[in-house]
Amino acid sequence: MDIKELKRLIDVASGRTEADILLKGCRLLNVFTGEIYTTNIAISGKWVAGISENYSKAKIVKDCKSKFAIPGLIDSHIHIESTMLSPREFTRAVIPHGTTTVVIDPHEIANVCGIAGIEYMLEAGKALPLNFYVMAPSCVPATDLETSGAEIRSDDLVELLKDTNIHGLGELMNFPGVVFNVDDVIEKITAAHQRGVLIDGHAPGLNGLPLNAYICAGIYSDHECSSPEEALKKIRRGMNIFIREGSGARNLNELLKAITIENYSNFSFATDDRHPDDLKDNGHIDDILRRAVSLGLPPIWAVKMATVNAARNLGLKMRGAIAPGYFADIVLVEDLRNFEVCEVIINGKLVYSDGTIQCDLKEIDSSSVNHTINIGNFSQDLLKLEAVPDHKVNIIKVIEHQIVTEWMIDKPKVENELVVSDPERDIIKIAVIERHKATGNIGIGLIHGLSIKDGAIASSVAHDSHNIITAGTSDREMALAIEHLRSIGGGFTVVKGDTVLASCPLPIAGLMSEDSYEDVADRLEEVINASKEIGIKLSNPFMTLSFMALPVIPKLKITDRGLVDVERFKLIGLWTK
C-alpha cells in the first residue's frame, strides 16, 4: 500500500470520502468474537475501510438483503495439478464456491518439469484474481526409487526462496530425512529458516520421539492425520492440523471427533487433491463447510476454521477476516448451513455475482510445460516378461478406496515361456514406463484387484514422478494405450482390442488440461465409464492406478525401476520362491 492508497483508505474509514463499494444491510459473521449482527461494510481499493451503519455512500452500493457476509474461504493445502485443470480453469471452478485464497504446492508439476513448472504456476497465479500463495516443493524427487523429470536440491531451494512470491517450503514428506538429520534435507530446512518462511508438514502416523524431532525442525502443520488420536498428539506439540477432505483421502468424519472449544483454533481445512467432477458436482471448501455443519460442527466454528484459523496458521497477513485494514475478501451467502454463494469479492473487486464470473480470467502460455512424454523408441516387445521356472511372483493387491496396498504371492500364468495376464484370477500385468528422459526404464509386475477382463488402461498421472503407468490383459493393448498417451501429450486412456474406447488428454505436463473444467469432468466420466466396458469395477480406476506407483505408501508398489517394498524402502525382485 503506497502513501496515496493509505491516505484514501483512512479518509474512507473516517467517513470523509465515499467508499468504492458499500455492502449495505448484511449480516456480518465476526470471526474475532463469533457474533452475527447487521451492519454495513465499506471497501476502499483492495481493503476493508470500516464496518458501521454510519457508512451510506459509495460509488457502488449493494443492498445485501440480510445475506450473511463471511470472509473469503481458504484452502490451506492443494495441488492444483491434481484437479487436472489449468490454474485459469481451477480459478473459474472455485470462485463461484466462495474460495478466495489457496495455498498451493506445485510438487506434481515440479517432478515433471522442475523449476519451469514452478515458474509456470507462479506466473499463472499473478495473472488471476484468486489469491495464490505458492510453496516451494521440498521433495523433488520424493525418493530415489523412481525416475523423476527433475531434481530440486537444497541449493535450488535457496534460490527459489529468494523469490518473495514463494510463501514457504512445501510439505516435507521425507520425515525420515528430518528425523535422521540427512544433510540435503536439513539444508533445505535451514534455507527456509534463513528466509523466515513457514515449513509445511507431511508425516502420516509419526509419533513419539520421532515426532518431537520432526517438529523441532520448525515444521508447523500436517494434513495427513487420519484419526482424532493422531491429530491430538500433534496439536499437543504445537502443530496446526489441516483437515483433509479431497477426492481421494477423506478425513473429515474422523477428525471432527478431535475438535473442542479449547483447540478448534488449531484446525483449518484443505483438499490436497480434488478432481474436476468433484468441483463441478459438489464444490470446494464450501462443500467441506456443508459436510462439517451437517455432522454437528457449529457453523461459526466451521467458518472460522475455513478463514481466520487458516490465515493465522499459514501466516497470511491481513486475510481471513472482515475488519478495517484487512484485504476485502468477502463472500455473501444465503445461510450458514447450505452456504449457497451469492457474491464474491476478492481484493476489493466483485468477481462473482448473479451466477456469473464478473472478471477476466487470463490463460498464460503453457508451452514451457507441454510436450513432456519422452519414451524414446518404445515398442510392444519391451513389455515381455520371461518366466522363471518353479518360481512364484510378488503381486500388488489393490484395496478399493485406499492408496495403501496388500501383498500377494502366487504362481503366474505362463504361455510360451512368457508371463501373461490371467483375467480369470484377476492377476494382470502392470508396467511403469519412464517418460521424462527416454532412459528405457520399464518396471513390469502383476496386480490383483483391477478386474480387467479384456483391454488396458494407461495414465501419465502416477504419483509422485508421473511416469506412464499401464495395466491390461495383453501387451498389444497396453502398448496401444501407451502410444495413444504419447500422441495426445498425456492423460488417461482406455483400450480394447485395436480400439481406443475413450481418452482424457492432459497436455500440460501430462497432468492438466486447458479445456473447461466442465469438459474435463465430462471426459473423466467418459474414461471411467469406458473402463467399466473392459470389466473394471473400481469407482475411479485412474486414481487407484496413479497411486500404485507411489513408493512411499505401503505395502508393495511399482516404479520404472521395479517393485518396491515400501516398508523396507527398497527395490525387490518380481520373483520369489
Q: Is residue 171 situated within a structural domain? A: yes
CATH number (domain holding residue 132): 3.20.20.140
Percent of the chain with pLDDT over 70: 100
Q: Is residue 410 situated within a structural domain? A: yes
CB count, 10 Å around CB of 414?
Answer: 15
Percent of the chain with pLDDT over 90: 90
**Residue 342 banded pLDDT, cuts 50, 70, 90:** very high
This prediction's pTM? 0.94
Shared domain for 299 and 394, answered yes or no, is: no
* 564: Cβ contacts below 8 Å, ≥ 6 apart: 145, 551, 556, 557, 558, 570, 571, 572
Shared domain for 292 and 437, answered yes or no, is: no
pLDDT at 517 over 90: yes
Quote the CA–CA distance of 183 and 47 in Å, as a whole number: 44
pLDDT in the model for residue 354: 87
Shared domain for 279 and 158, answered yes or no, is: yes
pLDDT tens track for 39-48 = 999 999 999 9
Quote the CA–CA distance of 201 and 205 in Å, as a whole number: 12
| Cα distance from N-terminal residue to C-terminal residue, the chain | 70
pLDDT tens track for 394-409 = 999 998 877 889 999 9
Shared domain for 291 and 395, answered yes or no, is: no
Q: Is residue 258 situated within a structural domain? A: yes
Last residue in a domain, options 312, 337, 367: 312
Quote the CA–CA distance of 70 and 10 in Å, as a whole number: 23
pLDDT at 247 over 90: no
pLDDT at 6 over 90: yes
pLDDT in the model for residue 9: 96
pLDDT in the model for residue 90: 97
Cis (ω within 30 of 0) for the bond into 413? no
**Residue 14 banded pLDDT, cuts 50, 70, 90:** very high
* 501: Cβ contacts below 8 Å, ≥ 6 apart: 455, 494, 495, 530, 533, 534
Q: Is residue 22 situated within a structural domain? A: no
Shared domain for 529 and 414, answered yes or no, is: yes
pLDDT tens track for 96-118 = 999 999 999 999 999 999 999 99
**Residue 294 banded pLDDT, cuts 50, 70, 90:** very high
Shared domain for 90 and 219, answered yes or no, is: yes
Determine phi and psi for 154, rounding to 5 degrees: -60, -40
pLDDT at 364 over 80: yes
Last residue in a domain, options 264, 293, 312: 312
Average pLDDT, the chain: 95
Shared domain for 546 and 443, answered yes or no, is: yes
Shared domain for 303 and 385, answered yes or no, is: no
Shared domain for 385 and 290, answered yes or no, is: no
Quote the CA–CA distance of 354 and 359 in Å, as a whole number: 13
Which range of 531-535, 539-543, 553-557 scores highest in mean pLDDT? It is 531-535
- Determine the average pLDDT of the residues in 289-298: 97
Question: What is the number of structural domains in the chain?
Answer: 2
* 381: Cβ contacts below 8 Å, ≥ 6 apart: none
- Which of 63, 49, 108 has its CA nearest to residue 82? 108
Q: Is residue 40 situated within a structural domain? A: no
Shared domain for 447 and 524, answered yes or no, is: yes
Reduced to 3 states, what is the DSSP secondary structure of residue 170? strand
Q: Is residue 330 situated within a structural domain? A: no
pLDDT in the model for residue 144: 86
Shared domain for 284 and 394, answered yes or no, is: no
Last residue in a domain, options 312, 337, 358: 312
**Residue 301 banded pLDDT, cuts 50, 70, 90:** very high
Give the DSSP letter of residue 219: B
**Residue 554 banded pLDDT, cuts 50, 70, 90:** confident
3-state secondary structure 365-400: CCHHHCCCCCCCCCCHHHHCCECCCCCEEEEEEECC
In DSSP notation, 402-440 reads -S-EEEEEEPPEEETTEEE-BGGGTEEEEEEE--SS---
Quote the CA–CA distance of 531 and 567 in Å, as a whole number: 31
Q: Is residue 98 situated within a structural domain? A: yes
In DSSP notation, 440-479 reads --EEEEEEESS---S-EEEES--TTTT-EEEEES-HHHHH
Quote the CA–CA distance of 272 and 249 in Å, as a whole number: 9
> What's the grid cell of residue 187?
539444508
Shared domain for 427 and 285, answered yes or no, is: no
Quote the CA–CA distance of 429 and 458 in Å, as a whole number: 12
- Which of 409, 454, 435, 345 has its CA nearest to residue 71? 345
pLDDT tens track for 405-428 = 999 999 999 999 999 999 999 999
Cis (ω within 30 of 0) for the bond into 464? yes
> Do residues 89 and 516 make contact, with C-beta atoms less than 8 angstroms apart?
yes
- Determine the average pLDDT of the residues in 473-488: 98
Reduced to 3 states, what is the DSSP secondary structure of residue 213? helix
> Do residues 321 and 312 make contact, with C-beta atoms less than 8 angstroms apart?
no
Q: Is residue 474 situated within a structural domain? A: yes
Q: How far is CA 389 from the centre of its chain?
A: 44
Domain hosting residue 425, numbered range: 380-576
